[in-house]
Amino acid sequence: MKTAILGGGLTGLTLGYLMKQQGRDFEILEKEPECGGLMRTLEHQGFTFDYCGSHIIFSKNTEVLNFMLDLLQQNKARNRRDTKILYKGRLLKYPFENGLADLPKEENFECLYYFIQNLIKKEKGEIKKPTNLKEWFSYMFGKAIAEKYLMPYNEKIWKHPPEQMSLEWVERVPNPPMEDVIKSALGISTEGYLHQLHFYYPRIGGIQALIKAIENKIGQSNIMRDFGVTKIRNIDGKWVVSNGKQVRVYERIISTIPIQRLVKALNAPKKVKEAASNLKYNSLITVMIGLKRKTDTNLSWLYIPDREILTHRTSYPSNYSPNVAPAGMSALMAEITCKFKDETWRKRDDEIADRVVTDLQKLKIINAHDVLFTLVKRAEYAYVISDLDYAKNLKKISEHFSQLGIGLVGRFSEFKYLNMDDCIKSAMDYLKQENLQTNR
């Protein structure tokens, strides 16, 4: 039984790798000349950039983490996170609630006061359970932390009102321990988000080194590139898949491509098309900057909640691996979320790059005279947005594809906010469940 895996990103390649280990017949159909999806890397003048946003390797799941590390073998560097938030000209320790002592004393007090008041009110049952993201921020962190950082930053990254966002992804945000918040306010060092306190990164080849390692395990004969799926039909129990020029025939389909593209290719029923078109997502513009001198920071990445600054996050890949930039130089990346084809997306690459350089110089993050070059790349599908109708729309879509027997796996096929490790786990879980059903 031959299976088509639609999409050669991390999820699709993981599915292929695991299916090859099981001795199963499959073919990966990838629309681009190379695999990787959002995990692709470019090299320019001796610099290495992950051009669909900054990526690091970490996971709470030991099986998944070992899967990635085993693939990289010796091509990996272990790093300790050094991450900050740029708040009113101050560098605060990340996450915000672990950097309260870096705030002015009055703001520090406000954050601690409202956090503790919130805990007391929750204990007394005086606060109702949150129903949207805006309410959840205050419910979990208190009014001050929510208003000073969480709301501005999330409004900036999502480009969608938090009060109109559901709570589907918040389980990924750890509850802030009371002891840590109090210690933080008093200036006693604490760490949050411990699962990513230490992370890995390829020494050579950027994040795509992981992709290439999986490709090498699969073998090139199982991957068909430049095959963008445009039409799918079921004829006499077989799936006929076309890219407009070629036709391939399979017994089964597993999709990892954006659900909107799959729905279009299948010419799904009207209610499914409407549900898919109502799903919301953000696009991403990445500005890569080559600097002709070494930066004087050990930062891993920096969050910028200021709404007047275009980018929401800068990252410093030169601090992930010494091989990312030529000796004595540095690589820096700036990420910008936007809506596909909105005002920001429509700006020319040079306009975006100039704005980012100007912003970063204003913030004293870089000196414009040190810029060797800028490169700009765009990704239409980057972040899943779970609005208040998200679950309802997703249910209609999932039920339809379940009835067709087409598997949906990965970030934009399941339409869930999945990190790299979640995508790998999603592929593992899908095949484990499939094997269970087969063996019953």
pLDDT at position 314, please? Answer: 98
Selected residue with higher pLDDT from 265 and 171: 265
pLDDT in tens, 41-69: 999 999 999 999 999 999 999 999 999 99
pLDDT in tens, 210-232: 999 999 999 999 999 999 999 99
pLDDT at position 91, please? Answer: 97
Inform me whether the pLDDT recorded for 439 exceeds 70: no
**To which H or E segment does residue 294 belong?**
none
Buried b (16+ CB within 10 A) or exposed e, 381-403: bbbbbbbeebeebbebbeebbee
Could you give the CA distance from residue 131 to residue 112 in angstroms, rounded to a whole number?
Answer: 24
User: 425 is written with which tokens?
Assistant: 């786990």
175: confidence class by pLDDT, cuts 50, 70, 90: confident
Inform me whether the pLDDT recorded for 248 exceeds 90: yes
Counting residues of the chain whose pLDDT is more than 90, the rounded percentage is: 95
pLDDT at position 1, please? Answer: 85
* Residue pointed to by tokens 């430049």: 226
Over residues 102-130, the mean pLDDT reads 95
Could you give the CA distance from residue 10 to residue 213 in angstroms, rounded to a whole number?
Answer: 11
Residue-by-residue DSSP string for 35-56: -BTT--EEEETTEEEEBTB---
Residue-by-residue DSSP string for 240-269: EEE-SS-EEEESEEEE-S-HHHHHHHHT--
pLDDT at position 191, please? Answer: 92
In 3D space, the residue among 411, 427, 416 whose CA is nearest the CA of residue 52 turns out to be 411
pLDDT at position 262, please? Answer: 98
95 cis-preceded (ω within 30 degrees of 0): yes
Inform me whether the pLDDT recorded for 440 exceeds 80: no
pLDDT at position 436, please? Answer: 67
Over residues 399-414, the mean pLDDT reads 97
pLDDT at position 173, please? Answer: 80
pLDDT in tens, 330-380: 999 999 999 999 999 999 999 999 999 999 999 999 999 999 999 999 999
Q: What residue ranges define each of the domains in the chain, with the CATH number in brackets?
A: 2-38+206-278+388-439 (3.50.50.60), 105-185 (1.10.3110)
pLDDT at position 416, please? Answer: 96
Burial of 64 (0-12, 13-18, 19+ CB in 10 A): buried
Inform me whether the pLDDT recorded for 243 exceeds 80: yes
pLDDT at position 420, please? Answer: 97
pTM check: above 0.85 = yes
Question: By mean pLDDT, which of 95-104, 173-182, 270-279 is the weakest?
Answer: 173-182
pLDDT in tens, 122-166: 999 999 999 999 999 999 999 999 999 999 999 999 999 999 999
**CA distances in angstroms from 232 to 29, 226, 314, 414, listed in the order given:** 13, 16, 40, 18
Over residues 436-440, the mean pLDDT reads 63
- Give SS3 for 327: coil
pLDDT in tens, 12-36: 999 999 999 999 999 999 999 999 9
Inform me whether the pLDDT recorded for 438 exceeds 90: no
